Amino acid sequence: MASIHTVKFLLFFVPWFWTCNFLPLSQGKYDYPYIKKASSFSSPSISDTSLNKAYDYIIVGGGGAGCPLAATLSQNFSVLLLERGGVPFTNPNVTFLENFHITLADLSSTSASQYFVSTDGVFNARGRVLGGGTSINAGFYTRASSRFISKVGWDAKLVNESYPWVEKQIVHRPKFSPFQRAVRDSLIDTGVSPFNGFTYDHIYGTKVGGTIFDRFGRRHTAAELLASGNPEKLTVLVHATVQKIVFDTTGKNPKAVGVIFNDENGKQHEAMLGNDKQSEVILSSGAIGSPQMLLLSGIGPKAELENLNISVVLDNHFVGKGMIDNPMNALYVPSNRPVHQSLIQTVGITKKGIYIEASSGFSQSNSSIHCHHGIMSAEIGQLSTIPPKQRSIEAIQAYAKNKRDIPVEAFKGGFVLSKVSSAWSVGELKLINTNVNDNPSITFNYFSHPHDLKRCVEGIRMALKVVQSEHFTNYTLCKKKTAEKLLNLSVEANVNFIPKNANDTTSLEQFCKDTIITIWHYHGGCHVGKVVSPDYKVLDVDRLRVVDGSTFTESPGTNPQATVMMMGRYMGVKILRDRLGKLAGI
């Protein structure tokens, strides 16, 4: 999920919107009569599993993969999609590009994003809304490389049918901004060539990608892909928080038979699969949610589960392991002229595994949920109110509570971002407790592998050249700044909880470590061959799959959302064809 590094998840407010007790029935030309509150569910007893109250597929997680997967499977089978968050359609902070930062900065329990800090000290977020990451990201849309498709063993023909299925429904050509034009021209002059124009494809050089924001700045999420579902066979429950998977352990392998979930009122329900051996529970809860759910359900390292008094269903010490996040660093680009807001539109793709992107400006719609921006005001992009050693979560909360006026700072400038792709540094995910609402402990071990740090340094050098080019100085009306000045502008900003070496620009390695942030492209935790098979069935467990980015060993393309949504459609079609053959009609 690409973003700007000024977003710090530190706006403290409780929005009035989520206290309303209603669901939208439509979004534009689409109707969603099958989206209901979790409390509307009527639980069958186990003896009723042969009746219509049981489902062919229960999908846990209505995110980038879960929504297209549910829509596709519902063409032939009954599907229950369970999403712990609410709907994105009537939330202006999710819907409008100009409010992009606000949802990420909302730390309330009803926010569409769930804030967490990795043990490395880096701010991060996970989706908690129908549409998942596509409802809270910066919207950039680009396909995976052909190398990635080959590596994961997907059918290229079906892949090339599945991407357009997504694109025709929710993807648009961006309204190109002057700031992005300066980025494009600077990248080409810096040697990131050729210019490949507007394309969804992953090609070396500089290009303009797609976006899920339309020309009016309205976001179109994976939730809209549900409009392609069969309303007679699809049920989508929001505010349905799955507690664990239910297993029958009397056979040779444990067999998934259903799930237990809580509704918005805290009442517990049990949703059951039908008796058909091909019916399945499918986890599509993302790189954090899926391994977390396996662990909570008793699939994972035996010692860790027993330590939390979780009944062990299957001992698999690979669950939660292999967590990777793509490290990103940013250079602040000040401007002497007003800057139009833009999120990621242009990208430089290098053969060294370094991607250069950019974002600019700041805005907030009149219809958005206004709030106090606290000590990390996104408008100014820097922090000067509280001394570095006093910047604690408690200090931030106190500051936000006492600050009564919405800031009026005019943010003029932007950021050039350098991302290390296919990171070699690996971490892990572990449960802290058995409360599914709490984030697990997540460690990414940024730059623990020297190859990642080396590439970061190369990326920062490239970003400096881009920012210092005449295309940027002509646009910003600012004199060319030295590398030291540009680095200090960024290192002074409070971008993580890692102790800083302020004004130390003698070492680009130190700059990388001091200013490390995320671009929200974390993945892993349920790797193929270790947790799931090549067709994503959980190893040594019957009727259970994982379909999402937790199965990836690297993040596809310059942004994973296109491939995650494509994966949902791809696997839906593949499951139907494997189960029905030509009768699938798809």
- Does 370 belong to an annotated binding site? no
- Percentage above 90 pLDDT, the chain: 72
Amino acid letter, residue 274: G
Q: What is the dihedral of CA 213, 88, 61, 516, to 10 degrees?
A: 60
Phi, psi of 175 (to 5 degrees): -85, 100
pLDDT at position 491: 74
What mean pLDDT do residues 205-233 have?
A: 97
Confidence of residue 361 (pLDDT cuts 50, 70, 90): confident
Is pLDDT of 276 > 80? yes
| Pick from 130, 169, 126, 127: nearest CA to 34 | 130
Q: Average pLDDT, whole number, for the chain?
A: 86
| Alpha carbons 196 and 208: distance in angstroms, whole number | 8
Is 83 marked as binding a ligand? Answer: yes
What residue ranges in 213-326 does DSSP mark as E strands? 234-238, 241-248, 255-262, 268-272, 280-283, 299-300, 314-315, 321-323
- Report angle CA 249, 572, 202 to the nearest 5 degrees: 125
Q: Is the pLDDT of residue 296 over 60?
A: yes
pLDDT in tens, 179-197: 999 999 999 999 999 999 9
| Residue 8, pLDDT above cutoff 50 | no
What the block records as the tokens of 561 is 């959302």
Question: Beta partners for 126?
Answer: 114
- Which of 37, 228, 213, 64 has the alpha carbon at shortest distance from 132? 64
Mean pLDDT of the 227-232 span: 96
Asked if residue 173 belongs to a known ligand binding site, the reply is no
Is 560 within any annotated ligand binding site? yes
Range with the lowest mean pLDDT among 276-290, 348-362, 504-518, 528-542?
504-518
Q: Is residue 220 annotated as a catalytic residue, yes or no?
A: no
pLDDT score at 394: 65
Lowest mean pLDDT among 151-165, 327-341, 352-366, 377-391: 377-391
- Section 21-27 average pLDDT: 45
Residue 457 CB contacts under 8 Å (≥ 6 apart), including other chains: 508, 509, 512
Residue 502: predicted pLDDT = 54
pLDDT in tens, 149-176: 999 999 999 999 999 999 999 999 999 9
Pairing of strands 268-272, 140-141: unpaired
User: Is there a binding annotation on residue 242?
Assistant: yes
**Strands 427-430, 441-443: pairing kind:** antiparallel
Q: Do the beta carbons of residue 35 and residue 56 sit within 8 Å?
A: no
**Mean pLDDT calculated for residue range 92-118:** 87
- Residue carrying the six token digits 């030295």: 482
| Phi, psi (degrees; rounded to nearest 5) at 209 | -100, -175
Q: Which of 5, 101, 521, 523 is catalytic?
A: 521
Counts for the chain of helices (H) and strands (E), in that order: 14, 27
129-143, 149-163, 492-506: lowest mean pLDDT where? 492-506
Can you give the pTM of this predicted structure? 0.89
pLDDT band at 366 (very low <50, low <70, confident <90, very high): low
